Structure 1
Amino acid sequence: MVDWRDEGALLRVRRHGETSVIIDVFTEEHGLQAGVVRGGTSRKIAPVLQPGAQLDVSWRARLEEHLGSYSVEPVRSRAAAVMGDRLALAGLNAICALLAFALPEREAHPQLYQQSITLMDLLGQTDAWPLAYLRWELALLEEMGFGLDLTECAATGAVDDLAYVSPKTGRAVSAEGAGVWADKLLPLPPCLLGIGPAPDEEIREGLRMTGYFLKTRLVPALGDRPLPPARQRLVDLLAR
């Protein structure tokens, strides 16, 4: 038998037979791991198994490569904290959906795990979380091997006046370096460079940029599956 215990965030729940469910949990030490929860549709367990919930989980299987079974204990619910905040709830759903979409199974990503947990805990607690979410999408791209370089201008090497990102290379470009090609580049919002506040328009602009790289780099690498609709729902709410 193979068994382990860890703590993690519940990302997705799927029905399995009449009374059980399969859950996907993102843990610090074991990465994204699926498992069956027997009786997961019961009145006692079902309310605990909400996307975003922090769980203490024990996983067990006869062989490592098998679909194991989970026993779960709640640590804290996040859905309850954001239920009255439509935007924060959309943020939680987008985070869970993107992680379930992007992460390879059974591969630890401890840094991304910590960033994800921190972001989830911000939801509903502060109005500043959309900027943290935008930075988290950049971190997700980085962790999946598609990181952007926003440190200096790809054309001139300058570190000041960075205003764009090249859609081809994912590198920053200054206003001077862009020249006549500016209209073919993606705007780089100053808030991602730590400059000034993060007004709504900059957040939306930043999400258009990260969305471009999610669609053109991450999606093809995962077999051209479409991005989860939950991300678009969040973008649409932020646009209102």
Structure 2
Amino acid sequence: MPTEKDIAIVLRTVDFSESSVIATLFTREHGKISGLAKGARRLKSSFDSALDLLGLCRIVFLRKSSDTLDLLTEAKVVRRFRLRGRSLAGFYAGCYVVELVTLLTQEYDPHPDLFDLTDRTLERLAENENVPHDVLAFELGILKSLGYWPSLDTCVGCGCEVVPQRNRVFFGLLDGGVLCPRCRPTRRSVMALGENAWRVLKDSQSVEGSEAKDTTGTTTNHGSWTEWSPQVRGELRGLINGYIRNLLGRKPRMHEYLGLLT
């Protein structure tokens, strides 16, 4: 059986025995994989303490059949997640990022663009400088990458163009987009979104080129996180929290820590 090589982000590790671990990894070319790393807990092994949470490593593995774990044979550190400063916000945010990747991606479904976005986001979060901005940018990026971007221009109920009424629009969390005044009363889980927050989302939707490839993609014609009012930041945080929660069918475990990011 030929070996496979890839670069990977460590999403999760679970002790399997006194010397081995099961690692869930997000690789660039193979997507999410789960593998048994025999001997990884030993001081001297072919894994060189490379399977640290949020870390980046190069791996060698044997791909097994669909009903068994892959076998990790080697891992070498490329970059560890080293948090700067005393605040834990960057670490909590990093854990949230890998939780989203774990929950929203499938085994062996590669998304190189999402891998690159995740890698850059974790690198920025370790700097602990603009954590709320980086988290929101990642959330918007993963929704775009995986095809979950909401409809922001036309009503998801009837397809008509939606324009703000009294400086707000209605967003259907279950429906995945904005609703016109006629369709809104027939839907559940609807929240009002201020016009400014709506326009910020519309701007981020149209970011292209080099900006779209960077986690600074939420710098829009309406400014960036630090320039937005507390009301806009709160509305965006509430909308994305609710949208992702409904998308997953449950609340992400790390959501309770996002209060630190507003």
Tell me the residue number matched to 2:224: 197
C-alpha separation in 2, matches of 1:65 and 1:6: 21
Whether 1:167 and 2:173 are equivalent positions in the alignment is: yes
**CA distance in structure 1 between the partners assigned to 2:84 and 2:49 by the alignment:** 15
- TM-score, normalised relative to structure 2: 0.73
Do the aligned partners of residues 191 and 131 (structure 1) sit closer, same or farther apart at CA in structure 2, a change above 3 Å counting? farther
The answer to whether residue 237 in structure 2 is matched with residue 207 in structure 1 is yes
Q: Hey, what does 2:214 align to over in structure 1?
A: none
Post-superposition offset of 1:64: 6.1
Check whether the contact 2:5–2:58 (CA below 8 A) recurs between aligned residues.
yes
Aligned to 1:222: none
- Taking a change above 3 Å as real, the CA distance of residues 83 and 72 of structure 1, as seen in their structure-2 partners, is farther
Structure 1 residues 15 and 126: alpha-carbon distance in aligned structure 2, compared to 1, 3 A threshold: closer
Would the aligned equivalents of 1:82 and 1:89 in 2 still touch at CA under 8 Å?
no
Taking structure 1 as reference, are residues 168 and 62 closer, same or farther at Cα in structure 2, changes over 3 Å only?
closer
Residue matched to 2:161: 156
| One-letter amino acid matched to 1:167 | L
CA pair 50-82 structure 1, distance change in 2 beyond 3 A: farther
The answer as to whether partners of 2:163 and 2:169 remain within 8 angstroms in 1 is no
Could you tell me which residue of structure 2 aligns to residue 32 of structure 1?
Answer: 32
Map of 1:220-239 to 2, 5 A cutoff? 226-233=250-257, 235-239=258-262
Distance in 1 (alpha carbons) for counterparts of 2:85 and 2:10: 16
Paired residues, what number?
227
2:248 aligned counterpart, secondary structure? helix
Provide the TM-score with structure 1 as the length reference. Answer: 0.79
Taking a change above 3 Å as real, the CA distance of residues 88 and 191 of structure 1, as seen in their structure-2 partners, is farther
Question: What is residue 110 of structure 2 aligned with on the other side?
Answer: 108
Instruction: Summarize deviations over 1:154-204 as a string: whole Å, max 9, x none.
Output: 353559x7755333533346xxx659x699534252543321232455334
RMSD: 3.2
Structure 2: gaps (5+ residues):
204-219
Alpha-carbon shift at residue 34 of structure 1 (Å): 0.7
CA shift in 2, pair 1:99/1:126, >3 Å: same
Which secondary structure does the structure 2 equivalent of 1:13 belong to? strand
